[in-house]
Structure 1
């Protein structure tokens, strides 16, 4: 049984006064509610249950595109299916890399396969708007839960104590969105609950200023978050905040030009010694329909919840990730789904990271090869490129999930194995708080689960770590960020098929390490500065 809060995650209406500053940031992709009947007055909060409902909206916003699953989309310009936060993260983190390619020709989607995007790309605009929409909801929740407002409504002390934790979770989810914006677009405006409600041009901050904001928020909220493992499954606790802080520190050289590897190793040590435990189950259990209860959940620090009955998002979130990976001669029922969308496959160079394509020497190499060619000669042909069967809507014992159209499989946004890998990387990069022998032990624990050969201290190089992150975390929305940190995303030091728009792959320009600020965003807020190269 999954946590109860998600069962109400899209059944309530939006709140009056969502931060209209974002209208000026997004132009045509309006992040304000589309239906005037969805606006509610402050009387909404007279019901004590409303506070958790709004928190649920924030969590559900990571998966669904609107208040009715894919219907009634939160933002205009993309449908509710295309504008799902998780789906957009997959599109921008995986398609431009060696890990994935998609055969669809929707709008400007093909340019993400080839690193040839432009500021008019509607999927980048959707990603930008989706993140700011989440920020706007978090800001309004924080405005409505001040001590003064709670006192005026006569909220009792027990609920007030819960709301302290709710507020910290809202701040975390806001920081998570700012992290994604900083990572993808660099310098963006920062709006908080202290900003006025109404149309104005928020000031664009530098990437370093956004970094400092996220860092400060994650440190400050620690006192109010639930203790490690003390919250409901699927909700944030202190360990999740430490994990996100470790992530921004791991990429600090990219974001602010300063290495923070010692801080990464220290934080990962705290994460590893928390109540979360490495899941000593077959690797496939982590991505099965019952991964919230089959033992995999012990290492899930921040899962994005899915449920075939409670969250009716046919095109968003995990429904997209699994449906789009099915095609060719694959039997969709084997994946627990009602059909395949013939979209995403692995690129040839990624398959080569594994000892074989049959999951023999490494159980993580879950490729479907029957009728599929290794080379991708034609991007639009699903049988060009090996299919991926990592995520599956079937329970780990082989029994059926709740339904075949919307999966039950949770998406592990943060998990303990990544903390092992971050510790190892920070140590190799010179962290004074790391130990090579300890790092090798963590890597071998990961590899033992995968039934891959053990490594020695001499094997632990940066090139090995980048490859191992791919093998362990592929299709989990990390690859673009990882390749940039290692200097392998643009340029010619790492080439894969269709990089740069040619079949054999070619070098791309370094300015593409940052995505462009969407053109319609700049049109709506002319004070914004475009990133160099665009």
Structure 2
């Protein structure tokens, strides 16, 4: 009965996904879906009959990435960015947020259950589409591309699940029965297979801007290679002695060679580049710049009918929502994040700032008004906001003030260059690896300064220490830091080295440090899922005594 209940839960998610797509889901720019006849009573039995329905089903597969508030639409940003050495929260602000900001997450945390369900719902949607599309009469080329996109997304959902939870059930069939956790080796073999298939089949650019293409798959193959290689070299999780989550099986040379191969292909053939202005990567209305650099994004819609939005409000300058501000400041930058930057690095002023008011200066970009936050010169005076994203004046958009129709970069060319630097260093080419760090820094130089200033300031004798710092400077608050600290086996060191006496937000550091234990590199398997499926045992180490 429990297994049946678990299966039906994901069946219901399929119908919801198809309905959202049919009524006008715009997450991949699918304007042709707008105004389509709603499939209010859609089921998997009477769907998947036509080419149009295949496209609608594919849109539903993409929608799972957004996941309303549960995944990248909002909550996953708290879950993945909080509790690192980049940002922190304080006790008592929210039962759903505080545990992630202070590394106090338990297996009963509702947001974790929602993430688990959301990603597996996405996997199930892809499995239905892959299983049913062969019977649809449509062009063979497009049919194969749709299957490849679905496999890319299936790989991506498994990828995030395993980085968060370690060993997980692998699902490659529609409406699967509940099953046991499978080792990270088995999971990554499936992920690589899906990404590799997508890399071989997908075109250089998708028919719809924002959808996966050949280089999206290549980029995630590089991400997988770097994750596996670094986890093996660093001994990630070895002290936990938990075989299901072990990386002892990894061939680090083979993993890093995958990084070199994929990044070489992307650089030489992909057609991506570092866009000129760093801040244009994170504004609502600068999509041309974003698509120049981003290999994969999470899109949002400006159609109020479906409400498929991204929610930046916790990662924008603090201030009135009516002028593009956020009103919570639940996750705040740590002083250590601020201190990683030289004053002449424009990324500091963009990623961390103070508030905006109706009296703030206004910058007009392409006819849109952006209120400019007060620049922070120290983390010790006034309250810092994590200001990675910027929303235009709410009077200029047709959706609610708190919502955003801007995209969210998930994989950028800058990350590709940093991954390549990591792999080249592994293969003893430190000079070229350092050149790649310098290449990423060039656009970060404040006008009137030189990149050599940053190179000198940021130089570390230990290249890997410098690389990890540079990844934080470039990618902070983009949901990478947790995984970087874990795979380099630097998490405990990063948390224990935080200071509570510098920076107004660092007062919560003692709580974070008291809650931190090495086993927290993994999240616990949600208790509700274990109640439904006894085969998910054993729980990840450290969480069994809750």
- Report TM bin, short chain: 0.7 to 0.9
* Aligned residue in 2 for 1:390: 388
The yes-or-no answer on 1:220 pairing with 2:197 is yes
The 5 Å alignment of 1:393-404 reads: 393-394=391-392, 400=396, 403=399, 404=401
Which of residues 204, 218, 223 in structure 1 aligns to 2:181? 204
- Partners in 1 of 2:313 and 2:330 — Cα distance? 10
TM-score, normalisation: structure 2: 0.76
- Partners in 2 of 1:26 and 1:501 — Cα distance? 42
Q: How many residues align?
A: 467
Which of residues 278, 283, 300 in structure 2 aligns to 1:283? 278
- Residues 49 and 387 (structure 1 numbering): CA distance in 2 closer, same or farther, change over 3 Å? same
The yes-or-no answer on 1:131 pairing with 2:116 is no
- Residues 245 and 480 (structure 1 numbering): CA distance in 2 closer, same or farther, change over 3 Å? same
1:59 Cα shift? 1.3
- Partners in 1 of 2:172 and 2:408 — Cα distance? 28
Contact 2:354 2:383 in 1 (8 A): no
Residue 43 of structure 1 aligns to a residue whose secondary structure is: coil
1:84 Cα shift? 3.5
Contact 2:275 2:292 in 1 (8 A): no
* Aligned residue in 2 for 1:513: 521
Residue 45 of structure 1 aligns to a residue whose secondary structure is: coil
Deviations 1:39-94 (CA, angstroms, capped at 9, x unpaired): 425433334311111111111222242xxxxxxxxxxxxxxx3x244423312210
Contact 1:392 1:409 in 2 (8 A): no
* Aligned residue in 2 for 1:245: 221
- Residues 385 and 363 (structure 1 numbering): CA distance in 2 closer, same or farther, change over 3 Å? closer
1:407 Cα shift? 1.9
- Residues 247 and 41 (structure 1 numbering): CA distance in 2 closer, same or farther, change over 3 Å? closer
The 5 Å alignment of 1:27-426 reads: 31=13, 38-40=41-43, 42-65=45-68, 81=69, 83-102=70-89, 105-146=93-134, 149-150=135-136, 155-156=137-138, 158=139, 160-193=140-173, 197=175, 200-226=177-203, 228-252=204-228, 253=232, 254=236, 256-257=247-248, 258=250, 259=252, 260-293=255-288, 295-309=289-303, 312-313=306-307, 318-319=310-311, 321-323=312-314, 325-327=316-318, 330-334=319-323, 336=324, 340-356=327-343, 364-368=350-354, 385-394=383-392, 400=396, 403=399, 404-426=401-423
- Residues 318 and 98 (structure 1 numbering): CA distance in 2 closer, same or farther, change over 3 Å? farther
* Aligned residue in 1 for 2:243: none
- Partners in 2 of 1:519 and 1:118 — Cα distance? 9
1:450 Cα shift? 0.8
More helix by share: 2
Deviations 1:286-338 (CA, angstroms, capped at 9, x unpaired): 11112322x33211100111233368548xx632x2356443xx35455x35x
- Residues 224 and 298 (structure 1 numbering): CA distance in 2 closer, same or farther, change over 3 Å? same
Residue 201 of structure 1 aligns to a residue whose secondary structure is: coil
Contact 2:78 2:331 in 1 (8 A): no
- Residues 111 and 463 (structure 1 numbering): CA distance in 2 closer, same or farther, change over 3 Å? same
- Partners in 1 of 2:96 and 2:519 — Cα distance? 19
1:522 Cα shift? 0.5
- Residues 375 and 312 (structure 1 numbering): CA distance in 2 closer, same or farther, change over 3 Å? farther
Contact 1:236 1:302 in 2 (8 A): yes
Contact 2:316 2:390 in 1 (8 A): no
| Structure 2: tracts of 5 or more residues without a match | 20-38, 237-245, 356-373, 501-505
